[in-house]
Amino acid sequence: MQYIEPQTGQTQQEGIVSDYGNVFDLTLKDSEIIALTNKMIADSESFWNGLGLKEAREKNLRYWKGDQLKGLQFYNHNVRYVDNRIFPSTETIVATVCARMPYPEVFPDQNTQTSTIIAKDVSKALVAYTENNEVADTFQFALRHLLTDRIGWIKLRFDDSLGKNGEIVTEYVLPEDIVVDKEAKPGTNPRFLSQVLRGTVEDLIKKFPEKEQEILKKFGIIRGTKGQLGKFVAYKEVWFTYYDGDKKQEAVCWRYDDLIMGKMKNPNWNEGGNNEITKNFLNHPLKPFIPLNYLNSGRYFIDDTSIIEQAIPLQDVLNKRGRQIIENADSANGGWVLSSKAITAENASELIGDPNEKVLVNADDVRTAVARTGAPSLPSYVLEDKIDARNEIDNMFATNKVARGETSGNRTLGQDQIQLAQDTGRQNQLMRAVEKAANRYYKFLLQMMKVYYTEDHWFMITGRNGLFDSVVLRADIIKDGMDVRVKAGSSLPLDKVSEKQMYADLAAQKMIDPLTLMEELGVPEPKDKLERLVQWTLDPMSMLQMIDKEKWDREAFMDIQILNRGVIAPPTEEVTEEHLAYHNEYLKSGEYRKQKDNIKQNHVNHVALEAEELRRTLLLEETQMPTAEEVQAGNQQMDQASMQDQAMGGMPPQEKQPLQPPQPMV
């Protein structure tokens, strides 16, 4: 076998290609873990810098910000011209590819109505979480880092200081703060990964209270004043894979210099769990980092190059040609050529080039004493080269004028739409990179929820008809066998004018069914909307009854979920026959028969209380005296019926006494 050395590209024969010394093991002494992680971090950091990663990142960031003249020599009269085409192209890509957070579709563990409803609720909870925590913005930061730093990073962690029961945090990580195993390949779980964290000494003591004295000693703190504890320090969080017998495990340690402040097994994994709460969503433990890759040959974990790097030579040409054009324009008036016999050097130095300026020379023929030289004409290829460099940068990023929202040179709207479709098509590879990362993100997010959501976590969502609704998520609700995938293309902007027009034309010609039309247009819950359409077409009046039934079904469903956790659910305030019917259907289901006896009894007691409440409500309605408004409405109906009988030639109605409103009791 042969091995290709990445830094040199030279082929080596089979053998040891890297030497980290001892393998990772959580049982190693602190000093051994320090020595091992020091070597691995130093070796990998040296490897990546040997590929020019650090220099490339610094240069890419400078060019993105517009600092593009570093290292160039200028005279005082030279123009510092920069036409930063990289910045708008980069931001157009970020705005287009991450226009929306990719949508998660959760698939149920079983093909039952209850499992389907639960899967939809989990999907809604994921969407609500990403909205509440502005995860779309986090993905935008990671995508921008991908374009400037060859990789983007998203991290998940649990913060027990947030909220009542703690909360999962999604954050981007600066690529320069991470050192990843040099032997790792894209799409794999790296053997180790180190991240630089920052915080105060007080933060470290709060996080690692058992190491308080060692931390204070390490920073030379004796009295522990606020000023001393407020020192801002950088330390490392190192994740690594090790073998526990024949099984791979993940572990993490926190270290500063030669001090291990803490170490533990992967906290985001339920060890040895068999019940619904302690099972894991993922098949095996992973490090809590989601990478974004794009221009990758498969040789390295970090991308080989970036679009910005490929565009920098063209950006240099664009700046140079623009500078030449401006300086040529500045010298259009030419310059003075003076005879030293006709004017002194002192007087010549006072000339400023004013159009009304007068020059007095000591000469019989001023033409032999003073002359103005004209600027040379600029070759046409200079301007053409500038325009070509500009267009090539736009083409490289697939961000032409239409994509940037600028006025194009196209004559028709159709040409603009074709251009926009071409740009979007060329960005599909980048869009798939984001969706791939989002797919891994949602899977890991459900794993974190499976571990940390041991108590109820409620999410407010927008329900049907614009009304607010709520869903609850908890570890045991995330069933074994569920899956989550990102809906393809869900991160792109919704405004696809040409595509919508095409489907509208097909619908007008009755060449497409309503369900397919709604699915292709991205309408949420298309099957439910089709059912409503059919209901509205066949019987508009029953639509209101259906909406009321859905409302009560939803409340009954939430009651059932609470009761299944062994918690007593209070009776609904306004019980209806439909609400009780939903409960009774559940009592006949196989899922109910699987519940423990005490939970079954809670269901029966709950239904009995609500049935009694409904009986009292119906009895009260039967015995209640009519109100004045009800009496007036009844009299109006009687008068209308009498007039209809007379109009149809019937016998005149007998005189009836009008209904009287109830009188107060004396």
Non-local CB neighbours of 449 within 8 Å, separated by 6+ positions:
168, 281, 457, 473, 475, 478
How far apart CA 556 and CA 569 sit, in angstroms, is 10
CA distances from 39 to 30, 280, 603 (A): 14, 33, 61
pLDDT at 575: 86
Q: How confident is the model at residue 1 (pLDDT cuts 50, 70, 90)?
A: very low
pLDDT over 70 at 409, yes or no: no
Angle between helices 497-508 and 413-426 (to 10 degrees): 110
CA distances from 82 to 55, 63, 327, 329 (A): 21, 10, 13, 16
How far apart CA 327 and CA 345 sit, in angstroms, is 26
Non-local CB neighbours of 183 within 8 Å, separated by 6+ positions:
17, 18, 191
Tokens linked to 359: 């020059």
How far apart CA 118 and CA 1 sit, in angstroms, is 51
**Count of beta carbons in the 10 Å neighbourhood of residue 268:** 23
Distance from chain centroid for Cα 456:
24
DSSP-H helix ranges across 301-373: 307-330, 345-348
Contact 173, 155 (CB under 8 A): yes
The rounded percent of the chain whose pLDDT value lies above 90 is 40
pLDDT over 50 at 656, yes or no: no
- pLDDT 10s digits, 114-126: 899 899 999 999 9
Cα-Cα-Cα-Cα dihedral sign, residues 357, 361, 365, 370? negative
Tokens linked to 26: 């959580």
How far apart CA 40 and CA 38 sit, in angstroms, is 6
How far apart CA 324 and CA 56 sit, in angstroms, is 27
φ and ψ at residue 556, rounded to 5 degrees: -65, -40
pLDDT at 433: 92
Q: Which of 247, 323, 317 is nearest to 85 (CA)?
A: 317
How far apart CA 547 and CA 552 sit, in angstroms, is 9
Q: How confident is the model at residue 144 (pLDDT cuts 50, 70, 90)?
A: very high
Distance from chain centroid for Cα 645:
69
Lowest mean pLDDT among 3-7, 92-96, 286-290, 622-626: 3-7
Mean pLDDT score of the chain, rounded to an integer? 82
pTM tops 0.75: no
Q: Which of 397, 403, 420 is nearest to 315 (CA)?
A: 397
- pLDDT 10s digits, 151-193: 999 999 999 888 888 999 999 999 999 999 999 999 999 999 9
pLDDT at 465: 45
How far apart CA 52 and CA 473 sit, in angstroms, is 46
pLDDT at 21: 45
Cα-Cα-Cα-Cα dihedral sign, residues 430, 433, 434, 435? positive
**Count of beta carbons in the 10 Å neighbourhood of residue 95:** 16
pLDDT over 60 at 13, yes or no: no
How far apart CA 206 and CA 203 sit, in angstroms, is 5
- pLDDT 10s digits, 304-344: 999 999 999 999 999 999 998 888 887 776 677 777 777 77
Q: How confident is the model at residue 466 (pLDDT cuts 50, 70, 90)?
A: very low
**Residue 441 vs residue 110, higher pLDDT:** 441
Contact 154, 178 (CB under 8 A): no
